[in-house]
Amino acid sequence: MEDILAHESELLGLVKEYLDFAEFEDTLKTFSKECKIKGKPLSKSACGSLRDSKSLIIQRDLLAAFDSGDQKMFFDLWEEHVPSSIRDGDSLAQKLEFYLHIHFAIYLLKHSAGRPDKEELDERISYFKTYLETKGAALSETTEFLPFYALPFVPNPMVHPSFKELFQDSWIPELKLKLEKFLALIFKASSTPKLLTLYKENGHSNKEMLQQLHQQLVEAERRSMTYLKRYNKIQADYHNLIGVTAELVDSLEATVSGKMITPEYLQSVCVRLFSNQMRQSLAHSVDFTRPGTASTMLRASLAPVKLKDVPLLPSLDYEKLKKDLILGSDRLKAFLLQALRWRLTTSHPGEQRETVLQAYISNDLLDCQSHSQRSVLQLLHSKSEVVRQYMARLINAFASLAEGRLYLAQSTKVLRMLEERLKEEDKDAITRENVLGALQKFSLRRALQTAMIQDGLIFWLIDILKEPDCLSDYTLEYSVALLMNLCLRSAGKNMCAKVAGLVLKVLSDLLGHENHEIQPYVNGALYSILSIPSIREEARAMGMEDILRCFIKEGNAEMIRQIEFIIKQLNSEELVDGVLESDDDEDEDDEAAARLPFSSWPVGGSSGVPAHCYEGRAQFWTSDEHPGQHLLQAPSFTKVHPERGGGQPCSHRVDGSKIWFRTGISRLFLQRGSQ
């Protein structure tokens, strides 16, 4: 009680200050009267009084500088005390600032008794010209201000008919009145009562802090994964070095006994010591039998690699960018979307690209966290086909990167909009291709997989795949890849079971399609859904085994091996527990249900993967949601689509299957390359 009494005067003062600010005049009178009757101390907030007095001083100084023509003092105070968000974002503030610059530019012409000082006049005109070329350039397309852009180049503005109104006696008083009203409004708005400030800080600052902590957590996880990869590489190199050292010791002991070392053995040892990128070429191009060659090459391989200097990209005004993306013309929107995508896709892989992406995410470029009716994401539903296309391209570029997918997957809002766009596009256009590409990359995330299955996307995919010859290669490959990813989930298999006959017919037709790139994905989908007993029965009834054996006669060794596994699954009588029930919260059931033995190899040896798995050089990646588990990326190829990219070729990197090893069980994921 004593504590309340000690602060009662201040608390009542805060209430009074807020009521006064919100203009609750009758309530304020009643409140003041009741406090007086009860003998409660009612003091005016010290903070409010201090703010009011400070605001009055600033307003007085600005008006004094306006009257005296002190240009430097006025604009120093203007930029210091008028918030940049108002100066740059409020159209009335921009117009007023334009006229204020005109006022100071012609001040000497209006207030000099004789001829004005030429040097000072030239300086003012030059200052005004600089403003027109920089900040004032934004109003150059406004009819009201267009004539004034010629003002710095007119020798005698006083007699020019276009500037007649500027030299009328009423012009300065009217401008000063506008300035006074603007300042009164601005400083009233900025004099926020302490009670409101306390309320805002308690909620808003906590939200901002949580967002910052989340960003820091994401960045820390990314760094930890980078360091983990480096550690694993160093450990592998260390083990390799120990093994080579042991062999060399054995060889030295053998030479003491009179046994000679063969050039082939020396070559094999040296190749093992070189980095992966050099091994294959060195094995055939370097003569290790020549004295000194091996040691020279080894020393050269340890020479530090000079890193290429990657320039820092200039920062962007994201508030203005988003404003132009929402309010600008369709032509401007298309250009901005293209430039933003190119900034991301043409950046150097590594730190520069990560910096660009993090800047996009931290500034919420796509308004994924916004609940406003007008947001950048709404460009997906623009009336302009070009704007829709370039928006879909940008989202697809985001989805090509793990951090980008994490940003887009904060809620299902983006997913729902993409699904709507996919179904509304009535032809196989570039917009639909990019939307489909983004959805396929979204299917790497479990929560989004679940949402897509629940939204019936499998039925849409089956419907368009009924006529594969009407689809572009891009649409066909991404559709089949997305279908396979969704069929890996038990919920997806259950969806397929509802139209089992149609699904089996579509997939069996796709087995014979001339586009051989889709075959592994068709095989994966078939194998996965055949774990459902009802689908197996339907497949047997339609003679699926005979159809599959036809392809065994024509296929290559890998294709034959995959089809044999499918036939084995078809003839299996195994019942999968719970396949007709909905998915639970655990990942384990779905992983076990999605085993693809034709893409599974035992984990063993130093690398964990046999050398014969794929031709070419494999690379290790990590899953979006399981950073502790590894993905093996098969060799990749590149498709060039000259018709995409706004007048210049756009290269689409399409990576092969990624095999996710986990305790000897593999799960096939697809992650196609960036647009």
Name the least confident of 132-146, 338-352, 478-492: 132-146
Taking the C-alpha atoms of residue 16 and residue 22, their distance in angstroms, rounded to an integer, is 10
C-beta separation of 421 from 435 below 8 A: yes
pLDDT digits (tens, 9 = 90+) for 375-404: 898 898 899 999 999 999 999 999 999 899
**Most confident listed range (510-524, 564-578, 581-595):** 510-524
Q: Determine the 3-state secondary structure of 305 from DSSP.
A: coil
CA torsion through residues 505, 511, 515, 520, sign: positive
The candidate with the shortest Cα–Cα distance to 460, out of 493, 430, 420, 497, is 420
Across 135-139, 309-313, 319-323, 448-452, least confident range: 309-313
Residue 582 has pLDDT above 60, yes or no: no
Q: Which residues contact 316 (CB under 8 A, 6 or more apart)?
A: 359
Chain-wide mean pLDDT for the chain? 76
Q: Please tell me which residue, 616 or 561, carries the higher pLDDT value.
A: 561
Give the CA angle between residues 38, 44, 47 to the nearest 5°.
Answer: 145
What beta strand segments (E) does 1-94 contain? none
pLDDT reported for residue 3 = 53
Q: Is 70 exceeded by the pLDDT of residue 445? A: yes
Residue 667 three-state SS: strand
- For residues 607-616, one letter each, b for 16 or more C-beta atoms within 10 angstroms of the residue's C-beta and e for the rest, the string is eebeeeebee
Tell whether the model's pLDDT for residue 478 goes beyond 90. Answer: yes
pLDDT band at 15 (very low <50, low <70, confident <90, very high): confident
Residue 65: left if φ>0, alpha if ψ -120 to 50, beta else—which one? alpha
pLDDT tens per residue across span 269-325: 777 776 554 555 555 566 666 666 666 766 666 655 555 667 778 888 888 998 999
Total Cβ atoms within 10 A of residue 575: 10
The pLDDT value recorded for residue 54 is: 75
pLDDT of residue 173: 92
Q: Which of 40-49, 246-255, 369-378, 428-437 has the lowest mean pLDDT?
A: 40-49
- CA of 650: how far to CAs of 166, 444, 451, 453, 647, in Å? 54, 24, 31, 31, 9
Q: b/e per residue, 35-55, with b = 16+ CB within 10 A?
A: beeeeeebeebebbeebeeeb
Lowest-confidence range among 329-338, 400-409, 612-621?
Answer: 612-621
- What would the pLDDT profile of 81-121 be if each residue is shown by its tens digit? 888 888 888 888 888 999 999 999 888 888 877 778 888 88
More confident site: 575 or 370:
370
Angle of helix 263-273 relative to helix 276-285, nearest 10 degrees, comes to: 160
How high is the pLDDT of residue 246?
85
* Predicted pLDDT at 312: 74
